[in-house]
Amino acid sequence: MNMIGIIGAMEEEVELLKEKMTDTVIVEKAGMKFVKGNLKGQTAVVVRSGIGKVNAGICTQILADEFQVEAVINTGIAGSLKAEINIGDIVLSTDTMQHDVDAREFGYPLGQIPRMETLAFEADENLRKLAKEVCEEVNPDIQVFEGRVASGDQFVADKETKERIIENTQAYCTEMEGAAIGQAAYLNKIPYLVIRAISDKADDSAHVDYPTFERQAIRHTVNLVSRMMECL
């Protein structure tokens, strides 16, 4: 590929990838540092978007406009929404949707943005297949799942909210950026994939588990994304 964009919301999620890059040039825009260079033989732009859907959407649009990326990968951590998806496991997005969009008053299903024709944003199947193969190779001890990712401007850390999101979205995990990247990628007709390692169970234990397992979870996504670059 000519250029691939890699977004992480937090510095911890992208710093190890940036360390692996060579021939880097930094471009600053909207308060974000876009690090362009070579990542394992692939030209790439790695960027910390900041947390939340608005930051992630802006970041994706800049990747499209300024760097003409041919694909976008969002890497990071998430809360599990399924009992069998454990801390450290990986979820690859089949699609993404926003669990906090509510225009039911106008007859739209929960999650659907009024006057947009789609409820969820389809992720790229080829990127997902590659990620699955590579994940089994580089992270053989963990499980990799393919399913929906639900995003919202909310850190989910209680059982009631978790249950509500599961019922409304049937998602496998929840985080705060994936569907905004999905929406921006959809509008720009750019293939994308969300890759998330589980840091917590998005329930009352999340406050304890999140800081404990954040680093370990990130290592799994970094291994996966950097090996993917060699295969693109």
CA angle 108, 109, 115 (to 5 degrees): 40
By the rule CB under 6 A, 200 interacts with ligand ADE: yes
- Count helices and strands in the chain by DSSP H and E runs: 6, 10
Choice from 13, 89, 124, 175 touching ligand ADE (CB under 6 A) = 175
* Catalytic entry in 13, 95, 175, 214: 13
By the rule CB under 6 A, 81 interacts with ligand ADE: no
Closer by beta carbon to ligand ADE, 40 or else 164: 164
* Alpha carbon distance 79, 90 (integer Å): 11
Choice from 24, 155, 168, 213 touching ligand ADE (CB under 6 A) = 155
Of 194, 218, 220, nearest to 10 by C-alpha is 218
* Alpha carbon distance 190, 183 (integer Å): 10
Question: Any catalytic annotation for residue 102?
Answer: no
Choice from 60, 169, 174, 223 touching ligand ADE (CB under 6 A) = 174
The two tokens of residue 89 are 């496991």
Chain position whose Cβ is nearest to ligand ADE: 79
DSSP string spanning 103-152? Answer: -GGGTPPTTPPTT-S-SSEEPPHHHHHHHHHHHHHH-TTS-EEEEEEEE-
Number of residues engaging ligand ADE in binding (CB under 6 A): 14
Choice from 165, 206, 228, 229 touching ligand ADE (CB under 6 A) = 206
By the rule CB under 6 A, 96 interacts with ligand ADE: no
Question: Any catalytic annotation for residue 13?
Answer: yes
Closer by beta carbon to ligand ADE, 44 or else 89: 89
Residue where the block lists tokens 């994939």: 193
By the rule CB under 6 A, 176 interacts with ligand ADE: yes
* Catalytic entry in 200, 203, 209, 214: 200
The two tokens of residue 46 are 């790695």
By the rule CB under 6 A, 56 interacts with ligand ADE: no
**Residues with active-site annotation:** 13, 200
